[in-house]
Structure 1
Amino acid sequence: MNRRTLIAALAAAPALAAVGGTLGATPAHAADAYASNTALYSDPALAEGVDFGRRSRRHLVDDQNPAARGGIVRTTVVAPHGGGIEGGTSELCLAIAGYHPADLAPTPSAGPVHDFWMFEGLRSSGNSALHVTSTHCDDTVARAMCAGSLNVLSLHGCTAAQAGLEAGAAAVLVGGLNPALRQYLMEEFAAAGVRAVTASGEEEIAGISPENICNRSLLGMGAQLETTTELRAAMFAPGRNTRTERAANTLPPFWAFTNAVRTAVQRLEATQPVL
Structure 2
Amino acid sequence: MFDNSNDQRGPVNRTTIMALHGGGIEGGTSELCLAIAGYHPATLAVSPAGGPVHDYWMFEGVRRSGNSDLHVTSTNNDDRAALSMAAGSLNVLSLHGCTAAQAGVPHDQPEAVVVGGLHTNFRTYLREEFQAAGFQTIDGSTVPVLAGEDPNNICNKALLGMGAQLEMTTELRQSMFDPGYFSQLERPTHTNGRFDAFVGAARKAIARLEAGTDQVVP
Please list every run of at least 4 consecutive aligned residues from structure 1 whose deviation after the TM superposition is greater than 2 angstroms.
63-71, 200-204, 272-275
Unmatched 5+ stretches in structure 2: none
Cα offset, 1:125, TM superposition: 1.5
Matched, 1:239 2:171: no
User: Paired residue for 1:31?
Assistant: none
3-state SS, counterpart of residue 165 of structure 1: coil
Q: Of 258, 264, 275, which aligns to 2:199?
A: 258
Cα offset, 1:64, TM superposition: 11
Q: Is the 8 A contact 1:134 1:204 kept in 2?
A: no
User: Paired residue for 1:80?
Assistant: 20
Cα offset, 1:205, TM superposition: 1.1
Alpha-carbon distance between aligned partners in 2 of 1:230 and 1:189, rounded to the nearest angstrom: 16
Q: Of 82, 104, 123, which aligns to 2:44?
A: 104
User: Paired residue for 2:120?
Assistant: 179
Higher Cα radius of gyration: 1
CA RMSD of aligned residues (A): 1.8
CA deviation string 1:62-102 (max 9, x = no partner): x9997654531000000000000000000000000000000
CA deviation string 1:134-167 (max 9, x = no partner): 1101100000000010000000001101112222
3-state SS, counterpart of residue 154 of structure 1: strand
With over 3 angstroms needed to count, the CA separation of the structure-2 counterparts of 1:274 and 1:134, relative to structure 1, is closer
Alpha-carbon distance between aligned partners in 1 of 2:58 and 2:181, rounded to the nearest angstrom: 21
User: Paired residue for 1:148?
Assistant: 88
CA deviation string 1:176-221 (max 9, x = no partner): 0000000000110111111111013665511010000111100110
Larger deviation: 123-132 or 77-86?
Answer: 123-132
Alpha-carbon distance between aligned partners in 1 of 2:143 and 2:172, rounded to the nearest angstrom: 21
Q: Of 74, 78, 85, which aligns to 1:138?
A: 78
Q: Is the 8 A contact 1:74 1:150 kept in 2?
A: yes
Matched, 1:90 2:30: yes
3-state SS, counterpart of residue 230 of structure 1: helix
Percentage of pairs with the same residue: 61
Matched, 1:161 2:101: yes
Q: Is the 8 A contact 2:90 2:216 kept in 1?
A: no
Alpha-carbon distance between aligned partners in 1 of 2:67 and 2:152, rounded to the nearest angstrom: 24
User: Paired residue for 1:221?
Assistant: 162
Q: Is the 8 A contact 2:104 2:143 kept in 1?
A: no
CA deviation string 1:15-58 (max 9, x = no partner): xxxxxxxxxxxxxxxxxxxxxxxxxxxxxxxxxxxxxxxxxxxx
